[in-house]
Structure 1
Amino acid sequence: MARKDLFKGTLEAMLSPEQGIARPPQGKGILHNSALGAVEAGLAHNQNRTQVVDLDPSEIEDSEHADRLPYDDADLTGLVESIRAHGQQIPILVYRKNSGGYRVIYGRRRLAALRKIGGKVRALISHTMGDDDRIIAQGIENAVRKDLSFIEKALFAHRLRQSGVKDATIRAALNIDVNVEKATQISTMKMVVNEIGEEIILAIGAAPDVGRTRWRAAAKLFQERFTAADRPRVAAQVLAFREKQDAIQFTVVNHPDQDFDQSNRSDARFEHFLASLRASNDVQKPELAGGDAQEISVGDQIIGITKASRATVTLTVRAKDDPSFHRWVSENVDRLLRQAHDEWAASPENETLTE
């Protein structure tokens, strides 16, 4: 069964533009004994507690768990034109915040398009969905409509994990690595985001035609040739390329792909990023690449020697340089290493390197 068909029952339960109310899902649960099945059952049980209303866009906040990367105006052009011509055919799903107003569960592109057009937003208001249910519903909706790209899914999973969402909920929301022993896809997503970093990913964009294999290759190249400290510089280079793109009007005449449109620019940015990585041997960090030893001195006195590679970092304190310091370090090395680890754990840099 195709992946999109798996979610048909639940989305039919949540989206009923003809009747304006939720209908119970048809057929068996999406994934029995899973969080997805709980969402489906909950929607069926509470069908009369979901209503369709017209809301002012200013009343609706974006989801706290962004699943799509920021898009250019060109990415919304087709949707804006469609809504102008035919109206909003499918409601968005929102819930009422305790502090007042609403927050979108899914339908962020439709909401953005309607903000550009003006007027009211047709919305389903859910009164019963819990936090996990909302996250899963957000993932389900993307599975049956415009699929998220690989990197959008990876960044969505990363942000959910940082927010404390359980791995099982993330996997169910994205419909990946469900009921398998090894979560290989989630593992790859985690590696890609950890290595490349959110700053560079946001500069590149959704890259809808770039899949897991090429993102993984880019992450491995970045791991080999750069460190986290290089991310702002690399992101700035991607953004500079993006500015050049903005100055170019792509047409069928100057692009060989007949299906090319402005929304494909993020794919071109990824290609630029990958090509830059492949050509970056000359900027590889010597201490990381070759593991060259470096002396650490206080004044004219050598106090230690470090050697770093991608696999290990070695610190050597020699008795011949300073016997007293050598003895003190040997007696306190456990405490010093724990202190260094605590300092690292509390540093801002750690936020981009760990989850």
Structure 2
Amino acid sequence: MAKRPGGKSILASFGSFTQAESNHPDAAASEGQKSPPPAQPLARVGAGVIGATQRSLSELREERDNLRALVEAGGSSELDPKLIDPSPFPDRLPDDNDADFDALKKIILEEGQKVPIQVRRHPVVEGRYQVVYGHRRWRAASDLGIKVKATVLALSDRELVVAQGIENAARQDLSWIERALFASRMEIAGIKARDIRAALSIDDPELARFRSVCRALPEDLIEAIGRAPRVGRPRWVSFATAIGEDGAALTRVRKTLSDDKVLGLPSDDRFKRALAAVKKPADRSRSDIEIKSPGGKVVGKATFSGRDVKFSVTAEQAPAFRAFVEEELPALLERFFAREGEG
């Protein structure tokens, strides 16, 4: 069973919560026990605060009971991987290499599958299932041609994404952009904001940042960059903001990512290249270009600075080069103005 960060299982957390309830003054009163009088007068608490606390406790009890019912309803089965489809809400981008996945397949082949995956019955297609979590174990079983151990639950879309998010939060191995993309896909599918926040254990400001980044960056561009596990929120937000402020930046990034050499880099490095492509080329106040002979010998240079264009060549080449420029300049200017659309 998946554990929450800190090492407690879901059921252990249920037990802790139940014990907390039994220690609550309301619980003591229900058992006929009298609460000891307070040592000093207590400050008055507003009715709104009391009401909010009661509602919070009620929601916690309801959530506890619902989760317990879901866990107890699950049954362990061995399923044909071909009958299972991925989650309708993808939360992962492809890894840069398959070394870890190959290691997982080897362990399952040699020692068997220790931990069942979790699936739900397909909401539309009879006899099929959808992965809640455990995609890599499901893929490994499929590649190995063996059945996969699975816990089958009856989950709504909301329950699926919350369970999927809780499992990922426990592992804490989703990168920031994977979490943002997961939130975006849930939102597109009509999942309510409160359920997205619950699935990812985030607050409103973080959800707003997820939204702004995924609205500025097309999904195919994010997929081309990849997981970028070392790239956190600040750089993704900066990247998205820069693209939003420069209409031509997106074209430059796409061109950069289309290079086969860039695509072969790890995803963190692909992000760095994409971020560099966003920045506009700095206007150079001065540039020099070497003038070379067909044999590669440097015979001079051309200098471009502001409104000035200067050529300098060796003393040996100077007379002939000056005569050549004077002869070719009228035709060169004609071509220039024709391209600029001036008559």
TM range (shorter): 0.5 to 0.7
Matched, 1:277 2:278: yes
Report how many residues are paired.
Answer: 242
Q: Cα–Cα, structure 1 residues 244 and 165, in superposed 2: closer, same or farther, change >3 Å? A: closer
Aligned pairs (5 A) from 1:124-273: 124-127=151-154, 129-177=155-203, 183-226=204-247, 231=250, 234-235=253-254, 237-241=256-260, 245=264, 265-273=266-274
The Cα offsets for residues 29-75 of structure 1, whole Å up to 9 and x where unpaired, read as: 8xx66988755422313544210111111110011111112335525
Question: Distance between the aligned counterparts of 1:156 and 1:6, measured in 2?
Answer: 24
Following the alignment from structure 1 to structure 2, what is the Cα–Cα distance between the partners of residues 232 and 147? 31
Choose which of 75, 80, 90 in structure 2 pairs with 1:51: 75
1:118 corresponding residue in structure 2? 145
1:271 Cα offset (Å): 1.3
Percent of aligned pairs sharing the same letter: 36
Residue in structure 1 matched with residue 9 of structure 2 by the alignment: 9
SS state at 1:207 partner: coil
Summarize the Cα distance change of 1:189–1:244 in structure 2 as closer, same or farther, 3 Å threshold: closer
Q: Structure 2 counterpart of 1:111, which letter? A: W
Distance in 2 of aligned mates of 1:59 and 1:209: 35
Match of 1:17 in 2: none
Counterpart in 1 of 2:116? 91
Q: In structure 1, the residue corresponding to 2:9 is in which secondary structure? A: helix
1:276 partner amino acid: A
CA displacement at 1:167 relative to structure 2 = 0.4
Match of 2:95 in 1: 71
Distance 1:80 1:279 in 2: 45
Q: CA deviation at 1:94?
A: 0.5
Q: Is the CA contact (8 Å cut-off) linking 1:199 and 1:231 kept in structure 2?
A: no
Query: In structure 1, what residue type is equivalent to 2:175?
Result: S
**Cα distance 1:130–1:8, how it changes in 2: closer, same or farther (>3 A)?**
farther
TM-score (norm 1): 0.60
Relative to 1, partners in 2 of residues 1:55 and 1:236: Cα closer, same or farther, differing over 3 Å? Answer: farther
- In structure 1, the partner of 2:131 is 104
- C-alpha separation between the residues in 1 aligned to 2:134 and 2:120? 12
Structure 2 residue runs without a partner (length 5+) = 19-55, 284-343
Shift of 1:80: 2.6
Letter of the 1:9 partner, please give it.
S
Are residues 238 and 244 of structure 1, via their aligned partners in 2, closer, same or farther at CA, if it must alter by over 3 Å?
A: closer
Aligned with 1:90: secondary structure? coil
**Partner secondary structure for residue 131 of structure 2:** strand
**CA distance 1:102–1:38, shift in 2 (3 Å):** farther
For the 8 Å contact 1:39–1:133, the answer to whether it is kept is no
> Which ranges in structure 1 are unaligned for 5 or more consecutive residues?
14-22, 178-182, 247-264, 283-355
One-letter code aligned to 2:136: R
CA contact (8 A) 1:36 1:172 kept: no
1:27 and 2:46 aligned: no
Summarize the Cα distance change of 1:119–1:194 in structure 2 as closer, same or farther, 3 Å threshold.
same
- Cα separation, partners in 2 of 1:33 and 1:221, compared to 1, 3 Å: farther
Q: Which has the larger radius of gyration?
A: 2
Distance in 1, Cα, partners of 2:70 & 2:234: 42
- Per the alignment, in what secondary structure is the counterpart of residue 110 of structure 1? helix
Distance (whole Å) between structure 2 residues aligned to residue 145 and residue 191 of structure 1 = 26
RMSD: 3.0
1:55/1:122 contact within 8 Å kept: yes
The one-letter code matched in structure 2 to 1:171 is: R
Once residues 84 and 77 of structure 1 are traced to their aligned partners in structure 2, the CA distance between those partners, rounded to angstroms, is 10
SS of the residue corresponding to residue 16 of structure 2 reads coil
Q: Match of 2:318?
A: none
For the 8 Å contact 1:199–1:235, the answer to whether it is kept is no
